[in-house]
Structure 1
Amino acid sequence: MYAIIDIETTGGQFNKEGITEIAIYKFDGVEIIDQFISLVNPEIPIQPFVVKLTGINNAMLRQAPKFFEVAKRIIEITEGCIIVAHNASFDYRVLKLEFDRLGYNFQKSTLCTVEMSKILLPDAEAYSLGKLVRSLGIPIADRHRASGDAMATLKLFKLLLDKDLDKQIVKQQIKNEQHQGISPKLFDILQNIPSTVGIFYVHNDKGNIIYIGKSNNIRKKLNQIFTADSKIAKRIQKEVYTVTFEETGNELIALLKEREELLHNKPVLNITQRKSPFLWAVYQEKLDSGYETLKIQKSNGRKKALQSFKTQKNAVQFINDLYQENEIVEQVQNALSASEQINYPTDMHNTLFNDLLSKNELLWNKKIIILKGRTINEKSAVVIENGIFKGYCFFDLNYQVLNTDVLQKKLIQLVYTKDVLNTIKHYLYTKKDYKLLSF
């Protein structure tokens, strides 16, 4: 659980500042579950440059509650939370200073989105909140007001969670909960898991990931694991400390994330899932007669496949659909399959045949696959460039994905493997819940 905080102050001498406005969004990693926004009467004058920067003046704060009047609410909303802020050392110091004045020891773990951004967004030109979120296409309203800056920090934090492939943020959260003595039982774990499509991570008491799963209904899948009596399920039931999850909005990103996370984290209980699911492949071959053709064989990593599939049936359908795009090629290939006499010249057929394959290859030149997002107002994009998977992202506004510079910064990059492109091609070939854009 996280408390995303932004504080505006009076300015002035170090450790003499007072809070003029505070905004807190309680965030469970998926959505805001509580919020607190309030002006605060600091009982000391605001510095003129701060008035000019924030628009908050002394007159506005005369009727505002003093800090001691909102302190209890701040304690309640941050209970069990890690404090997250842009330049967290400042916000946490000022907040702790106010509690010290009341004689209350306010102690929390903190995460700084400036420091996280420097690690996870190393190519950013600047790390000030305004410049950083604008470069990422994140809208920001009420700049230099607590609510607007806290909301922008929250959206930035969500992006950083997506980009944190090593799960360092989540591991720190688990260590924080463990320090507080929180150890939920299986039933309690399930209560916090959504019935949506995504990835889930089973952690042991050290925060290490021991199992990763994917499902169109995460809660249902976990419930099956928690009640099953297989060897793996029993180990999970015994060793699980907590479960974290990532909603993906659609099955394609869940498939891509699962494959990447299995290879990256190598969880001890996922041995069988690390193997490639694409057992069959379509290969180009020249027959003794000189005609080019396509053959379905067991996947061979040493040979270049035109495309790979999970089943022979899908491979056969792919070949048939491809041949249907050219009547001559289709007739020749049908004749070859039936061992019939062919009267069409070999070289002319092969030219048409290779043109057909080249046309199919060009389909994967520069494509953006638009799919559902995690919320009703959000969409997701999977990007392929020059036949290589570049990454995925989530976006709210169309310009965020149509603007190449913004798109590149929002992309969550995964390690490129043959299985990644096979997964995308297989999904597009078997599903219809997407829209294709060229760029």
Structure 2
Amino acid sequence: MYAIVDVETTGGKYNEEGITEVAIYKFDGHEIIDQFASLVNPEKEIQPFVVKLTGINNAMLKRAPKFYEVAKRIIEITEGTTLVAHNAGFDHRMLRLEFDRLGYEFERPTLCTVELAQSLLPDQDSYNLGKLTRSLGIPLTDRHRATGDALATVKLFKLLLQKDINKEIISKSLKHFKPLKIEPNLKAIVDQLPAATGVFYVYDVNGTIIFISKSKNIKKRVTQLFTGSNKKSKEIQKKVAEITFEKTGSEMISILKEHIEIRKHTPALNGRIKRNNFSHGLYIYYDTNQTPRFFVKSVVKDPNHIITFSSSRSGYSFLEKLEKKYGTSVKFRKLPHNDASLSIHQNTAVTESLDLLNETVNEIITTYSLKATNKILVDKGREASERSVILIENGRVTGYAFVNLRIQMTDIKMLKSLLTPIEDHGQVLHLVASYIRHKKIYQIIDL
């Protein structure tokens, strides 16, 4: 649990400043669950340059509550949380200073979004909140006011959590606050989970990830694991201490994240990881009559495939699908030795030129192959106002992101800043190509 904080102050000598405005958003890693914001009477003059910067003047604060009047609410909303701020050292110091004047020791673990951004977004020109959010397409209203800056920091932190592929932020939070113990009432864990598409992570008492899975309904899938009687379910029931999750909205991204995260964390209960997730490919050659022919065969000895398949059966099904789509202009036949071919030939009733045949070939390749292509795949987001985006450059899946504004996907430099990178070793491209071959997505943009 996190408390995203921003404070505005009077300015002045170090440790003699006072808070003039505070905004706190309690954030569970997915959404804001509580909030508090208020002007504060600092009982001292505001420095002129601060008035010019924030727009907060002494007259505005005469009837505002004094810090002791809001102190209890600040303690309540930050209790059991990690305090997150842009330049967290300053905001934490100011809160400690004000509480110290009341004779109360205020101490919270902190995370600084400046430091996190420098680590997870290393190519930015500036880490000033205004310039950073502008470069990422994150809306920022009421700059240098506590509510505006804190809300922008919430959105920035949400992006940083997404880009933290090693789960260091979450792991630190879990270890700090919760001596993990096996939950006797598994229902309490299930009740905290959403009925949404995404990926979930099962932790044991040592904070180690022991199982990762995707689902179109996380709550339902975990319920099945907690009520199942098979060996894996029983092991999870016995060892689970905590479950975290990441909503993806897009089923395609949940498939990618599951694939990547299992290989990164190698959870004990996920079992043996397959070396490769495809075994066959689609190839093309031209016979002596220059008739183009598609065929399916093993990829082991020939990496120059057009499309990949998880099995020979999947490849044959694809050829049959093409035969139905293109009618009499193609002919599927099974070949010996577990191969198959699809001839694109001249119709006996209508003489077709080779140019027309090649147009059919090109249409099939363009429609179904992602090799050497540059595309943006747009699909559902985690919220109604959001879209998920996958970037493919020169036939490689570069990464994925979640965007709210169209400029965040059309401005390639901005999009690349938002991307959670993916190391595409061919298996990822297979997953994406296979998904869009079988299911519809919102939009495909050719670059």
- Indicate whether the TM-score tops 0.5: yes
Go from structure 1 to structure 2 and tell me whether the alpha carbon gap of 1:329 and 1:214 turns closer, same or farther (over 3 Å shift): same
TM-score by length of 1: 0.90
Go from structure 1 to structure 2 and tell me whether the alpha carbon gap of 1:352 and 1:323 turns closer, same or farther (over 3 Å shift): farther
Contact kept, 8 Å, 1:10 with 1:17, in 2: the verdict is yes
Aligned to 1:432: 440
Contact kept, 8 Å, 2:389 with 2:400, in 1: the verdict is yes
Aligned to 2:147: 147
CA distance in 2, matches of 1:242, 1:362: 39
Match among 392, 408, 412 for residue 400 of structure 1: 408
When structure 1 is superposed on structure 2, of 14-23 and 184-193 the one drifting more is: 184-193
Return the offset for 1:399.
1.4
Task: Figure out how many residues of one structure are paired with residues of the other and give that number.
Answer: 437
Aligned to 2:118: 118
Q: CA RMSD in A?
A: 3.1
Aligned to 1:309: 309
Please say if 1:381 is aligned against 2:389.
Answer: yes
Contact kept, 8 Å, 1:282 with 1:295, in 2: the verdict is yes
CA distance in 2, matches of 1:332, 1:88: 65
Aligned to 2:94: 94
Aligned to 2:216: 216
Contact kept, 8 Å, 2:6 with 2:147, in 1: the verdict is yes
CA distance in 2, matches of 1:8, 1:112: 17
Q: Which amino acid aligns with 1:143?
A: R
CA distance in 1, matches of 2:18, 2:302: 67
When structure 1 is superposed on structure 2, of 21-30 and 225-234 the one drifting more is: 225-234
Return the offset for 1:299.
5.0
Unmatched segments (≥5 aa) in structure 2: none
Please say if 1:22 is aligned against 2:22.
Answer: yes
Within 5 A, what are the aligned runs for 1:140-219? 140-179=140-179, 184-185=183-184, 186-219=186-219
Match among 403, 417, 424 for residue 416 of structure 1: 424
Go from structure 1 to structure 2 and tell me whether the alpha carbon gap of 1:373 and 1:288 turns closer, same or farther (over 3 Å shift): same
CA distance in 2, matches of 1:333, 1:78: 68
| 2:105 match: secondary structure | coil
Contact kept, 8 Å, 1:291 with 1:349, in 2: the verdict is no
Q: Which amino acid aligns with 2:91?
A: D
Go from structure 1 to structure 2 and tell me whether the alpha carbon gap of 1:290 and 1:401 turns closer, same or farther (over 3 Å shift): closer
Please say if 1:391 is aligned against 2:399.
Answer: yes
Contact kept, 8 Å, 1:10 with 1:45, in 2: the verdict is yes
| 2:318 match: secondary structure | helix
Aligned to 1:300: 300
- Identity of aligned pairs, percent? 46
CA distance in 2, matches of 1:330, 1:77: 67
| Cα displacement string for residues 230-285 of structure 1 (whole angstroms, at most 9, x for unaligned residues) | 22222222222211100000100000111111111122221235554434432345
Go from structure 1 to structure 2 and tell me whether the alpha carbon gap of 1:372 and 1:245 turns closer, same or farther (over 3 Å shift): same
CA distance in 2, matches of 1:83, 1:244: 19
CA distance in 1, matches of 2:342, 2:282: 19
Contact kept, 8 Å, 1:214 with 1:258, in 2: the verdict is yes
CA distance in 1, matches of 2:64, 2:20: 9
Contact kept, 8 Å, 1:290 with 1:346, in 2: the verdict is no
Contact kept, 8 Å, 1:380 with 1:395, in 2: the verdict is yes
Contact kept, 8 Å, 1:293 with 1:333, in 2: the verdict is no
CA distance in 1, matches of 2:342, 2:85: 69
When structure 1 is superposed on structure 2, of 41-50 and 99-108 the one drifting more is: 99-108
Contact kept, 8 Å, 2:319 with 2:342, in 1: the verdict is no
Unmatched segments (≥5 aa) in structure 1: none
